[in-house]
Every structure is written in C-alpha cells, then in structure tokens.
C-alpha cells in the first residue's frame, strides 16, 4: 500500500468477472457504470484484485478505495481459471517476489509476450516482421544471484528475519525457504538466522548478498569440487569481534560456503574466509569460462543465459571477417563468445570495475588478440563518439533498464548524414520492454532500420520481469 492510502476492509459479496491481469499479477475487473458514468459514456470503476486471474469469477475484499479505482484481495474464487496453478512456495502471497506463481508457466510466457508486443505497438508504432519463439528454461531453483534485502530483528518473533521484502512493504518476509534459489542456498536461510542472531553486531548487518557459481571441477573425484560454489557477502556496518569472526569461519566450514564482507561501499567487498576461491559460470558452446566476483553484474539464471548468448550470436549472422561492437558489455558475457566467431570484437562498458574484469576474462580465455575493451559513458553518445569506435557491420547492445536512447539518437543523426558507420544489423537484448519500444521508435522511424524480429526470454519465471530480444536490419 502506498504512503497516504487509507486502509479499508470492505467485504464485497457480489461476484465480479476478472477481465485481465496487470504486471503485478493483480486481476483487473470493472464495475458496471453508475447512472452518471453511463450518461457521460464512461466505464465503471476499476478494481485491482490481488490473487485473481482473468476469466475467473470471484468475491473480494477492498483494501484501498480511491475515486477512480480500488485495490482488493480475493475472498473466494467461484470459478477458477483453467490456467490457475498451485503456488509452490510457502511464502507466496507474503514475499513480494514471484507474484505469478498462481499462474501456469505457459500463461506467464504468453502474458509477457503480449506485454512486449503491446509496447512495440503503442510506443514504437511498429510490429516485428517475425515473432521470435519465446525462450524458456528452468522454472525453479534458477536464481544464482540474490540480495536478501534486509536482515531485520523481529521482537515479536524473537529472531532475525532473513529474506526478501513483503509485497510493497519495508518489512521482511518471514521465510524459511525460497523455491527459486538453488536448494543448497534455500536450505541456508534458517541457518543464516541462527548465525546472525549469534553475532555481536546482530542489529548492524542489514543485508546478505548471494552469488552462486558453477562447480570448480564437475568431473573431479573430490565431492567438494563437484558442488556449486556459494558466496555470501555480509554487509557489516560495524567491525566484527574476534568471536564474530570465529562464528563466520565455523559457518563457512560447516556449510562449505565462501564468506565475503562489505564494511562500506561496493568497492570494499572483499573475501573474508577462505581468502581464495573461484566463482565462475561457463558457456560450453563457446568454450568460455567466466570468473566473476560476488559484486559483479551477471545474469541470475545461468541456464537461460547460455541460451540467450547462443541465440544472440546466431542472430547476428557473423562472418569470420566481421568486426563487432558489444555495447554495455559488462564482464564480457557476449564479447568473448562473439570473439570465437568474428575477426575482432570491441566491448564498451561504462564501469571501470567491469571493464577490468572483462579484460581479465579475455586473458583467462586466451582471447586477448581478438578482443579489446573500452570504458565509456554510453548514456552520453554523439556521432563523434560512434566515429571513435570505428566501423562495425554488427552490433550487440545489452543496456540496463534505462535503455540506449542516446546511442539510438546518434544513429539517427548518422542516418541523416548518410554515414557508412551505421551497422547493418543490431541485436538488442532488453530487460525493459518500454525502453526497448522507445528505442525501437527511434531506430525504425528516424535511423532507417526495420524490426526483423522480437520475442521474450523468460529469464525470471514467476515474476513480472520481461527480458526480450529484438533484431534490427538497416533498410536497403
């Protein structure tokens, strides 16, 4: 509930038909218009019903009432939807994540595809020539990165709560397991409660970050080397005592995890115990191993990332003589696989730490002769900036949620100038369909490109997050 909303608790026994679903997985229903609304040609009041699905007939309890709409929760489902599913997680409905667990995974994918197509239609005013087949993968135990966003002492429960926030709330959900985390990590949630409760700085440890890497050696005879590497980053706002340090070391030994500490900003993240180790993920198709640190940005879903990288490289239709640009390259997730197929790849990244990590990963994989990296602010791009990058027939862009508007505007200016710096093909990987649609409008209506294809990548099952991929070709 937003600040300023007045909570209410009005039980409505009159059943209502649910028409659609929003991205927060709330059913959308509409009351019949009253006489005044009908006289003015208006529709009735909208009701957003938590827990309801399209086609269902439900009764509901109003929890927030405004002039134009109300928010509610389901009281009773009188006619369930055929695509309703049984939530697997015990924290469903309390935890603010995975709000779509009650929706069949196929319906989730269809809904996300519809969101992408609607945004392209309404914002970009274009339709893709081809709807790419949706990409899906594991739907449980897929999340290899997570931030347990608060560690909160609960006087009422007499313990520390470690988990994700409750829905639209500053409170932490009381959860002892998480179905989207790997089982080994989920099992640690109650154990981490006990650990933090035993520390002298129990009230000064507000966050634990989780990063899971692939096994050190999946073929080894040593069981320790065949298990996933689990790193836990504890945000300690005060120094640890020697007793605290002993507890952390014992926890690491007992549960075979790698503990890091973050006493201040992100730059202070450092290993505590053991002092050495290796986090990595692998892209077997390209014979790439990607070491990373817990604070580095990596995709949370390793299996889907493998599929995404593979498809993006195929969609670029590379030739051995091609020079490629990889914009927002991060630690080299696309750059290094592209270098296996092209003559040379230039990776450009805005953060110095990620640029350094990308260079180290190129050396680790023996690709220093086929790639180079540049640190540059990709939110401040002009035609001169693009000229400094040099000509490349193929581009890959994987921007953050803000999108790549300045790059697209610079391409539009180059189009007006009839420049030969314009790439022939762009593959755009997006984590926000609205900024993708905005950038598509620029590319297709101002920069001389056509939208050859677009489709979703279900990187985050059971959530409203829409990952997608779009392919742009320069019009002949």
Q: Are residues 259 and 318 both part of a single domain?
A: no
* Cα 391 to Cα 386: distance, rounded to the nearest angstrom: 8
Residue 432 contacts residue 474 (beta carbons within 8 Å): no
Q: Is the pLDDT of residue 178 over 80?
A: yes
Q: Is the pLDDT of residue 326 over 90?
A: yes
Q: Are residues 176 and 265 both part of a single domain?
A: yes
* Cα 441 to Cα 251: distance, rounded to the nearest angstrom: 53
Proportion of the chain above pLDDT 90, given as a percent:
84
- Average pLDDT of the chain is 93
Asked whether residue 97 is domain-assigned, the answer is: no
For residues 160-170, average pLDDT: 87
Q: Are residues 131 and 222 both part of a single domain?
A: no
For residues 153-177, average pLDDT: 82
pLDDT at 387: 97
Q: Is the pLDDT of residue 236 over 90?
A: yes
Q: Is the pLDDT of residue 422 over 90?
A: yes
Q: Are residues 58 and 150 both part of a single domain?
A: no
pLDDT at 9: 86
Residue 5 banded pLDDT, cuts 50, 70, 90: low
List, for residues 370-383, the tens digit of each pLDDT value: 999 999 999 999 99
Q: Is the pLDDT of residue 158 over 80?
A: no
pLDDT at 15: 95
Q: Are residues 408 and 434 both part of a single domain?
A: yes
Q: Are residues 133 and 149 both part of a single domain?
A: no
State how many domains the chain has: 3
Q: Show which of 247, 280, 313 is a domain's final residue.
A: 280
Residue 75 contacts residue 61 (beta carbons within 8 Å): yes
Q: How many CA atoms does the CB half-sphere of 67 hold within 13 Å? A: 1
Asked whether residue 96 is domain-assigned, the answer is: no
Proportion of the chain above pLDDT 70, given as a percent:
97
Q: Are residues 125 and 224 both part of a single domain?
A: no
C-alpha 280, offset from chain centre: 19
Asked whether residue 2 is domain-assigned, the answer is: no
Cis status of the peptide bond prior to 274, with omega within 30 of 0: yes
pLDDT at 154: 61
- Which residues touch 294 (CB under 8 Å, ≥6 apart)? 209, 211, 231, 233, 260, 269, 279
Q: What CATH number does the domain containing 163 carry?
A: 2.40.50.1070
Residue 471 contacts residue 454 (beta carbons within 8 Å): yes
Asked whether residue 229 is domain-assigned, the answer is: yes
Return the exposure string of 201-213: e unless at least 16 CB atoms fall within 10 Å of the residue's CB, then b. eeeebebbbbbbb
Q: Show which of 44, 69, 84 is a domain's final residue.
A: 84
**Cα distances (Å, whole numbers) of residue 84 to 99, 102, 460:** 13, 6, 19
* Cα 85 to Cα 140: distance, rounded to the nearest angstrom: 14
* Cα 434 to Cα 246: distance, rounded to the nearest angstrom: 49
List, for residues 244-296, the tens digit of each pLDDT value: 999 999 999 999 999 999 999 999 999 999 999 999 999 999 999 999 999 99
Q: Are residues 245 and 122 both part of a single domain?
A: no
Asked whether residue 293 is domain-assigned, the answer is: no
* Cα 449 to Cα 455: distance, rounded to the nearest angstrom: 18
Please give the structure tokens belonging to residue 47.
Answer: 């009701």
Q: Are residues 25 and 149 both part of a single domain?
A: no
* Cα 165 to Cα 149: distance, rounded to the nearest angstrom: 7
What is the SS3 assignment for the chain?
A: CCCCCCEEEEEEEEEEEEEEECCCCEEEEECCCCHHHHHCCCCCCEEEEECCCCCCEEEEEEEEECCCEEEEEEEEEEECCCCECCCCCCCECCECCCCCCCECHHHHHHHHHHHHHHHHHHHHCCCCCEECCCECCCCCCCCCEEEECEEEEECCCCEEEEECEECCCCCECCCCCCCCCCHHHHCHHHHHHHHHHCCCCHHHCCEEEEEEECCCCCCCCCHHHHCCEEEEEEECCCCCCHHHHHHHHHHHHHHCCEEEECCCCHHHCEEEECCCCCCEEEEHHHCEEEECCCCCCCCCCHHHHHHHHHHHHHHHCCCCCCEEEEECCCCCCCHHHHHHHCCEEEEEECCHHHHHHHHHHHHHCCCCCCEEEEECCCCCCCHHHHHHHCCCCEEEECCCCCCCHHHHHHHHHHHHCCCCCCCCEEEEEECCHHHHHHHHHHHHHCCCEEEEEEEEECCCCCCCCCEEEEEEEECC
Residue 4 banded pLDDT, cuts 50, 70, 90: very low
Reply yes or no on whether 431 is catalytic: yes
Asked whether residue 189 is domain-assigned, the answer is: yes
Q: What CATH number does the domain containing 30 carry?
A: 2.40.50.140
Q: What CATH number does the domain containing 333 carry?
A: 3.40.50.150
Q: Domain containing 220: what range?
A: 145-280
pLDDT at 35: 73
* Cα 286 to Cα 318: distance, rounded to the nearest angstrom: 14
List, for residues 384-400, the tens digit of each pLDDT value: 999 999 999 999 999 99
pLDDT at 433: 97
Residue 150 banded pLDDT, cuts 50, 70, 90: low
Q: Are residues 324 and 394 both part of a single domain?
A: yes
Q: Is the pLDDT of residue 171 over 90?
A: no
For residues 54-65, average pLDDT: 94
Asked whether residue 90 is domain-assigned, the answer is: no
Asked whether residue 322 is domain-assigned, the answer is: yes
Q: Are residues 71 and 118 both part of a single domain?
A: no
Q: Are residues 155 and 236 both part of a single domain?
A: yes
Please identify which of the residues 98, 408, 431, 444 carries the catalytic annotation: 431
């Amino acid at each position: 509930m937003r600040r300023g909303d007045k909570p209410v608790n009005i039980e409505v026994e009159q059943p209502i038909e649910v028409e659609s679903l929003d991205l927060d997985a709330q059913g959308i229903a509409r009351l019949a218009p009253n006489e005044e609304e009908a006289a003015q040609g208006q529709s009735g009041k909208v009701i957003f019903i938590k827990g309801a699905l399209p086609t269902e007939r439900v009764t509901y309890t109003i929890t927030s009432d405004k002039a134009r709409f109300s928010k509610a929760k389901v009281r009773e489902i009188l006619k369930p939807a055929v695509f309703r599913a049984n939530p697997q997680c015990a924290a469903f409905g309390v935890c603010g994540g995975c709000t779509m667990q009650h929706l069949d995974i196929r319906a989730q994918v269809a809904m996300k595809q519809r969101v992408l197509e609607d945004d392209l239609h309404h914002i970009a005013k274009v339709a893709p020539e081809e709807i790419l087949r949706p990409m899906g993968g594991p739907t449980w135990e897929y999340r290899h990165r997570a931030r347990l966003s608060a560690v909160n002492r609960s006087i009422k429960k007499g313990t520390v709560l470690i988990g994700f926030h409750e829905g639209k709330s500053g409170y932490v959900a009381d959860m002892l397991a998480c179905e989207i985390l790997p089982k080994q990590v989920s099992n640690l949630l109650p154990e981490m409660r006990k650990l933090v409760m035993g520390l002298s700085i129990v009230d000064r440890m507000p966050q634990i970050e989780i990063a899971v890497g692939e096994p050190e050696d999946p073929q080894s005879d040593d069981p320790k080397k065949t298990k996933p590497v689990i790193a836990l980053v504890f945000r300690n706002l005060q120094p640890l005592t020697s007793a605290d340090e002993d507890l952390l070391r014992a926890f690491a030994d007992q549960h075979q995890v790698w503990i890091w500490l973050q006493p201040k900003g992100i730059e202070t993240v450092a290993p505590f115990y053991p002092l050495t180790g290796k986090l990595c993920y692998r892209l077997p198709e390209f014979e790439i191993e990607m070491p990373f640190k817990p604070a580095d940005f990596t995709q949370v879903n390793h299996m889907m990332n493998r599929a995404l990288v593979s498809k993006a490289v195929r969609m670029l239709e590379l030739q051995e003589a091609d020079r490629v640009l990889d914009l927002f390259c991060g630690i080299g997730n696309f750059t290094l696989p592209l270098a296996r197929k092209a003559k040379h790849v230039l990776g450009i990244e805005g953060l110095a730490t990620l640029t350094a990590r990308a260079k180290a990963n190129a050396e680790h994989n023996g690709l220093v002769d086929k790639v180079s990296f540049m640190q540059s602010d990709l939110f401040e791009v002009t035609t001169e900036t693009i000229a400094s990058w040099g000509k490349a027939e193929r581009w890959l862009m994987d921007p953050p949620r803000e999108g790549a508007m300045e790059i697209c505007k610079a391409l539009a200016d180059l189009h007006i100038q009839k420049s030969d710096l314009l790439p022939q093909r762009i593959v755009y990987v997006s984590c926000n369909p609205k900024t993708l649609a905005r950038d598509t409008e620029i590319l297709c209506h101002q920069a001389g490109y056509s939208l050859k294809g677009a489709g979703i990548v279900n990187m985050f099952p059971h959530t409203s997050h829409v990952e997608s991929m779009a392919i742009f070709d320069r019009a002949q």
